[in-house]
C-alpha cells in the first residue's frame, strides 16, 4: 500500500495556490467547474482518481471529496491534501446513501458546473475539456460521456430511459429515439443552478437510479442533457464494503432494484404507465431477465445471481416484488408532493 506521503504528492507540482486555497481558476473564460468525488474506504483507488483530475487540462477550479467517513487511511490522506490546498474536503458525519453524499457536495460547491465521478474511476485526458464547452448553451442542464471498464473496453455509451424505467444504450445498437436521455452516475455533470433548482438528488435513492432520477428532474425543468464521446472515464466497479456479506447484499440489491425502479417510473411517468402494465412487464422479466443490460447494477446482480443458490435466487425475486410494490406506493406520494 502507498504511504500517506506518496498519496500527498497528488497535489504537488500542479500550480496550486498553497494551503487554504481549494479553488483554482483553470477553466479560462469558460464556466467554473467543481468536480465532486464521494468516497468511503477506497484509499488506493481514490488516489488514482484524484491524480487523473489534477492532470486535466483545464484543471478543475475545485476538486471536492465527500468522505464517508473512511477508516482505512483515506481521511488522513485527504486532510493532508486539504492542508496543501489541493482539494476541498467535506466531512460526512455518517453514511447515508449516495444521494445524501452528492447533495452535501452540491451544497458546498463553488463551481458553476458540478461534475461527478466515482472514487474508483479515472478521468481520461480531455474529459473536462469535452464537458465544459457544452454549457455555452444556457439550455444545457447536464452533460456526460462514455464509460469504459478498467481494461479500456467500452461499457456504456449514450443512454436513455423509457417510461417503464428500462435503460437503452445507443452504443450497443439499441435505439434511444423518443426516450429521455440520461447519464451514468460515474460520469455526469450538471449546471449547478439547474440541479439545485430541482432539489438535487432525491434521498429516497440511497443506491441505484439516483442519477436517472436527477436527470429526469433536470429534463422536466426544461433543460437539455448532452453527450460527448471525448468525456471518457474508465471505471473499475470495485466491490464496496456493503458487499462483504454476499447473501445480505444480494437480497438488498434485488429489493432496491424493484423498489427504486417502480418509484422512478411512478414519480416521472405515472401518467403514462399503468401499474398493471408495469407490474406485468416486470413480472415477466423475473423469469426472462438475468443477463445484464447497460447499467452496472444489473451487471452486479447478474454476477451475484450466478453464484447464488437457487433458494436465495427465489427469495431475491420475492424481495424484488416487495420492493416494486413499496416503490410504486412511495412514488405516488412523491408525485403529489
Q: What is 4-235's CATH number, 1.10.3720.10, 3.40.50.80, 3.30.70.100, 3.90.550.10?
A: 3.90.550.10
User: pLDDT per residue over 69-79, tens digit each?
Assistant: 999 999 999 99
pLDDT above 60: residue 22:
no
- List the chain domain ranges: 4-235, 242-336
Torsion from C-alpha of 19, 25, 26, 27, nearest 10 degrees: 150
Residues 6+ apart with CB under 8 A from 100: 92, 201, 203, 206
Reading the block at residue 64, the C-alpha cell is 471536492
Q: How far apart are CA 67 and CA 131, in angstroms?
A: 25
Is pLDDT above 90 for 3? Answer: no
Q: Nearest CA to 179 among 211, 130, 225?
A: 225
284-297: pLDDT as tens digits: 665 554 333 434 44
Q: Which percentage of the chain shows pLDDT scores above 90?
A: 65
Rounded to the nearest integer, the mean pLDDT of the chain is: 85
The pLDDT score that the predictor gives to residue 56 is 98
Q: Are 103 and 200 in contact (CB under 8 A)?
A: yes
pLDDT digits (tens, 9 = 90+) for 118-157: 999 999 999 999 999 999 999 999 999 999 999 999 999 9
Question: Which has the higher per-residue pLDDT, 242 or 83?
Answer: 83
Task: Name beta bridge partners: 63.
Answer: 35
Q: Would you tell me the crossing angle of helices 310-336 and 275-288 to the nearest 10 degrees?
A: 160
Position 239 pLDDT exceeds 90: no
pLDDT tens digits, one per residue of 55-68: 999 999 999 999 99
**pLDDT value at position 312?**
65
Over the stretch 153-191, which tens digit does the pLDDT of each residue have? 999 999 999 999 889 999 999 999 999 999 999 999 999
**Residue 220: what pLDDT?**
96
Question: How is residue 86 annotated by DSSP?
Answer: S
- Residue 27: predicted pLDDT: 45
- pTM of this structure: 0.85
Structure confidence at residue 293 (pLDDT): 41
Q: List pLDDT tens digits, range 304-313.
A: 555 667 766 7
238 CB-near residues (< 8 Å, 6+ apart): 42, 45, 120
Taking residues 226-243, report their average pLDDT.
85
Amino acid at each position: 500500500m502507498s504511504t500517506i506521503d506518496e498519496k500527498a504528492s497528488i497535489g504537488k507540482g500542479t500550480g496550486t495556490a498553497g494551503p487554504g486555497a481549494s479553488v483554482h481558476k483553470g477553466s479560462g473564460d469558460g464556466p467554473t467547474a467543481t468536480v465532486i468525488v464521494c468516497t468511503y474506504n477506497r484509499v488506493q483507488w481514490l488516489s488514482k482518481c484524484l491524480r487523473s483530475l489534477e492532470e486535466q487540462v483545464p484543471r478543475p477550479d475545485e476538486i471536492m471529496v465527500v468522505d464517508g467517513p473512511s477508516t482505512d487511511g483515506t481521511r488522513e490522506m485527504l486532510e493532508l491534501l486539504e492542508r496543501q490546498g489541493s482539494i476541498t474536503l467535506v466531512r460526512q458525519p455518517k453514511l447515508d446513501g449516495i444521494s445524501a453524499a452528492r447533495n452535501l457536495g452540491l451544497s458546498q460547491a463553488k463551481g458553476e458546473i458540478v461534475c461527478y465521478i466515482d472514487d474508483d474511476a479515472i478521468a481520461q485526458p480531455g474529459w473536462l475539456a469535452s464537458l465544459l464547452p457544452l454549457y455555452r448553451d444556457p439550455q444545457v442542464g447536464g452533460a456526460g460521456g462514455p464509460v469504459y471498464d478498467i481494461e479500456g473496453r467500452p461499457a456504456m455509451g449514450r443512454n436513455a430511459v423509457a417510461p417503464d424505467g428500462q435503460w437503452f444504450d445507443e452504443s450497443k445498437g439499441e435505439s434511444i429515439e423518443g426516450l429521455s436521455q440520461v447519464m451514468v452516475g460515474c460520469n455526469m455533470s450538471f449546471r449547478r443552478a439547474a440541479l439545485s433548482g430541482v432539489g438535487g438528488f432525491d434521498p429516497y435513492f440511497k443506491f441505484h437510479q439516483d442519477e436517472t432520477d436527477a436527470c429526469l428532474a433536470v429534463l422536466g425543468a426544461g433543460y437539455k442533457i448532452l453527450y460527448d464521446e471525448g468525456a471518457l472515464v474508465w471505471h473499475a466497479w470495485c466491490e464496496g464494503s456493503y458487499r462483504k456479506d454476499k447473501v445480505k447484499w444480494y437480497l438488498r440489491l434485488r429489493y432496491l432494484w424493484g423498489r427504486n425502479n417502480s418509484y422512478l417510473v411512478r414519480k416521472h411517468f405515472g401518467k403514462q404507465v399503468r401499474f398493471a402494465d408495469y407490474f406485468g412487464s416486470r413480472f415477466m422479466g423475473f423469469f426472462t431477465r438475468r443477463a445484464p443490460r447497460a447499467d452496472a447494477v444489473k451487471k452486479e446482480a447478474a454476477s451475484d445471481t450466478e453464484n447464488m443458490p437457487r433458494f436465495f435466487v427465489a427469495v431475491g425475486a420475492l424481495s424484488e416484488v416487495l420492493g416494486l410494490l413499496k416503490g410504486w406506493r412511495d412514488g405516488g406520494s412523491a408525485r403529489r408532493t
